[in-house]
Structure 1
């Protein structure tokens, strides 16, 4: 029998319960999936949506791969639109097509409607990065892609289960178009299992409080988030703020691809307009509108209080415009396979650069310019493997007001977990030889970026590696006078010939056993004038090996001297250096 509870209290109970449901979904996927991308790296997102108004609204989301934050919203919208008049208890829906609410086709979204009576009212959903997606290239990242079909298998909105019955023919078709079918079916089962568990928990919630009360509590929760976000935006001065940044290239010979963001603050509303961005390009960095919107919202959310619940209320105060036919809203059949890194990174960066002009103490560097290098080969039994070499992508988090960059992933990737080196070496014929911070390899600032890293990964069996570089010429930008990050670099060495330094791309390079991939992964951009950094903090960085003595003088104007076998700040030299630099 449904219980009567105070409205405000019920909104907290229902909101907290649905948050817990999303987090339990995440735990189910992590503990039952087969792919290391799921059970080790955690490259997925879980959430719960409302469908009581015959349109979808995000009501709860677990911490996951942050760049999925709002891309999952468009995918769920498309699934519900496709099956609006053909939904039944036990249905399980799937989509990955970038032109049906997707981002790149490696991200698959599964939804299982939860019914009350004959109406679907809540929608558990999982969005995950799959290890392979068919197409010409193992792993799904194809720098030679010239259209969407070169990116891999396109899956429009379909049913995997109909009225609780598994559509075996559909499953077999999907498995037949994937190199990693020994992982894929288990991963899909994990995603579906998470949705089934969520359906049980949601059913218990509805039984306890009744659908009208639960729906009313969801309304209050969304209204609360919207009010909090509008209060945040209202604290920023009204005006129009414009910034632009550039992606190095599109892997097809086009360089310096522009992303331009104009942010208009008016009262408690925010408009983000990408007019002026480059036209869509030949290479696979075009960002579908859902991906563009997601990165824009991620940027906004990093500027707001982290205690605000993540739900539809975040989106209501914000309007995003992206002209069709541009790199931020391409027309079919433009390829999109790399959009979640490039130009996604630049979309978030341009928005943050614009917001930093009106809310400098809220904007932090959201670096995501990954030097992507993945390797593939076969096990002794002939089964294919694909190693995304996650260790080489760590780093890049930038500084923000009153905080240095920290952690191994920037904010746009914070839900992703660094895999266990030991498990990685059990699952792949590889060794992680080095994973260390590097000195003088981050953006300087009053608050510096996270340190850069040097990573060496050795593969022990014959394999092939493809490299897609970013952040080489157009490195991660600093904010509010902070220094830009240095350039990324990847070096391939097979032990037989001269090492290959990759500045743009290398495709399907054969690696002999023992070949080594070396990542020089730049740190994040800085925040604020480096000459305002406290000398004591610079000294601490020197003692920790993050900044050299020479770097302290060059970047921060801080003189460091040796004292009794250690280091100390030379106040007189520091004053002279800073006066000289300021002059």
Structure 2
């Protein structure tokens, strides 16, 4: 490719990514629900139709775990309406077994035509505050099938030739507990796709269809070359790892996710044979969700300047046996798949790749304890509160990098909601939100500290808690220690606490009752005895690690004046290394 063509391809690719960014800004600024406009729990992307299949060509940083799953949703939309796609159509879908993840993640997609042919498909996948079904918010640990997760929506047109279909909107709103938010949220997603349609039309007018498609292909090919070069730098071989979900909420414990990574030249096969069969509970991960978590695992092992598009997955072959917890058959419930077993898919991939690419793995931690509450405002409108502030914490370490931030990379782009806005929008007070000492996974580079959050509700409500990461905590990498356990307590107004070992279902909390969440820290990377004593000292000064913790985890002796006792430290570390040998 000559220099002019390369520059033009980058201009077009940059334009498409900018369009995706503008879609994201549109949703943020126009949506009604705090899940969108505060927490940013959505993703925007643009897909190209090629040979009647969609492929990812541009994206805006959002909730990363959504991203690659959208491709399958767009495919199903194309399949459903391939003989009846018209300019101005907008398609909605949220069927886990038809390109979806869990039902709350709803997809909006619209075709953009050129010369009477659909070429590009801007899309938004977003977590809705409620999706009907028997339980507010869509997390039902008692679900026995997918219909008890929420309202299943196959691909349907909600806008046809530019005209909103009132019948479909009425159906969706009638099955939603927070109708005062859902209309505005849908409008924001539709508006984002319609804006993208106009911008893409301008791109076609400026450069022409052939130039745009050539630029897209060039950018996809570039990403594939870069990812293949990364894989080729890893040693050929077969690398096996397994990890576990604590339980399935219906009695089965220690649910295994197995992964064999087979590296051969620039090709990577990820074989999940050996993973446990699908379970009764709602942790099953449909294939679109599983593919998205695989995508996360692979891309976090590659240079961050590689454009995120379909080329990233071209070198990868996935074997995901049907009927397993990572590729279940309908109608297995899937309500919490974006937490588990989805997160364990990424974890198993990274644990396998740690054996051939140790300096590339880390930072995965998504063992989130979920707490969801619902009640009514004074005017009897319902509120549904997904406690994003209580989810924070758990980012693991990577080579040359301590764990950082409040959300792990699986949720890159999700934003910590404003505490002040949370207290305005809900009858809620956040009484505490701070790091916890001695809750990091120790290592040459340590995980992010754990966090304690106390959320008090000012009105009577029903609260459900779904625990993960209690026994099988965030994994350390390359000899790093695992993160600490998650803990959640429900408290009465007078402060009497009850710890939730696995889950609580629609537990009545009185006005003034509270949820106390202690999120375990992320896993470490590398041997803890290799962490420089000065780095441990700084952690003690910052309060991430206590003096006792510094000695217990790192063999570093620190005095009351924060000075390192170098002789005692050398002796302690030498003694531990001799024991390990």
Give the equivalent residue in structure 1 for 2:568.
573
Q: Could you tell me which of 30, 33, 54 is aligned with 2:31?
A: 33
SS at match of 2:293: helix
Count of matched residue positions in the alignment of Structure 1 and Structure 2: 577
SS at match of 1:436: strand
- Counterpart Cα distance in 2 of 1:49 and 1:536: 48
Contact kept, 8 Å, 1:352 with 1:365, in 2: the verdict is no
Give the TM-score normalised by structure 1.
Answer: 0.98
Q: Could you tell me which of 563, 577, 580 is aligned with 1:582?
A: 577
C-alpha RMSD over aligned residues: 1.1
The reply to whether residue 322 of structure 1 matches residue 320 of structure 2 is: yes
Correspondence 1:84-483 to 2 at 5 A: 84-483=82-481
Contact kept, 8 Å, 1:404 with 1:449, in 2: the verdict is yes
CA deviations 1:37-61 (Å, max 9, x no partner) are 0000000000111114332111000
- Counterpart Cα distance in 2 of 1:408 and 1:5: 42
What's the CA shift for 1:319?
Answer: 1.2
Give the TM-score normalised by structure 2.
Answer: 0.98
Contact kept, 8 Å, 1:349 with 1:365, in 2: the verdict is no
| 4+ aligned runs moved over 3 Å, structure 1 | none
CA deviations 1:357-382 (Å, max 9, x no partner) are 00000001310000101111001111
Q: Could you tell me which of 516, 522, 525 is aligned with 1:524?
A: 522
- Counterpart Cα distance in 2 of 1:461 and 1:436: 24
- Counterpart Cα distance in 1 of 2:559 and 2:497: 38
- Counterpart Cα distance in 1 of 2:136 and 2:411: 23
- Counterpart Cα distance in 2 of 1:51 and 1:492: 49
What's the CA shift for 1:561?
Answer: 1.0
Greater CA drift, 71-80 or 247-256:
71-80
What's the CA shift for 1:5?
Answer: 9.7
Gaps of 5+ in 1: none
Contact kept, 8 Å, 1:52 with 1:122, in 2: the verdict is no
Contact kept, 8 Å, 1:440 with 1:548, in 2: the verdict is yes
CA deviations 1:185-220 (Å, max 9, x no partner) are 110100000011111111111000110111111110
Give the equivalent residue in structure 2 for 1:17.
15
CA deviations 1:240-284 (Å, max 9, x no partner) are 101000000000011000000111111111111111011000000
What's the CA shift for 1:497?
Answer: 7.6
Gaps of 5+ in 2: none
CA deviations 1:130-171 (Å, max 9, x no partner) are 000100100110011110000000000111111111111111
- Counterpart Cα distance in 2 of 1:110 and 1:35: 16
What's the CA shift for 1:495?
Answer: 2.5
- Counterpart Cα distance in 2 of 1:56 and 1:403: 36
